[in-house]
Structure 1
Amino acid sequence: MPEDVTSTTAAEIVRNVGGSANIVDLSHCATRLRFQLRDASAVTQSALEAVGGVMGAVPQAGDR
């Protein structure tokens, strides 16, 4: 994936999880990004799942 596409994808993901101020922590594995958020209600689920390369978004128990 070209760098500009990667940057755009990352920016879209951050925007759709409520912006960088909403992110408390971020971890990852080979196939997933795991966010700890200040306000889970700020997530725009449908827009997040529409981002190119995003295969789905699943809130963890207790996060919403």
Structure 2
Amino acid sequence: MYTEPSAQADSRDGHDSGPTAHQVRITERGSFAYASCDCGWFAPGRRSRDRARRDAAEHLAGPPQD
């Protein structure tokens, strides 16, 4: 199992940088890559590592703006 270094939201993007800051990691299991966060969020397993990274980036960006 491989785990990529985590990405962390900083205070410039509007996320809290305190103890509840988001810490996202990409973990590979077999041919699938999974994105998960310390807040409990997780994405479905992806065969594309790039798609798993995009899932994580979208999570860190926050909810979509309407």
TM-score (norm 2): 0.24
Bigger relative CO (Cα 8 Å, ≥ 6 apart):
1
**Hey, which of these two has a bigger chunk of helix by percent?**
1
Identify, as 1 or 2, the structure richer in strand: 2
TM-score, with length taken from structure 1: 0.25
Structure number with bigger Rg: 2
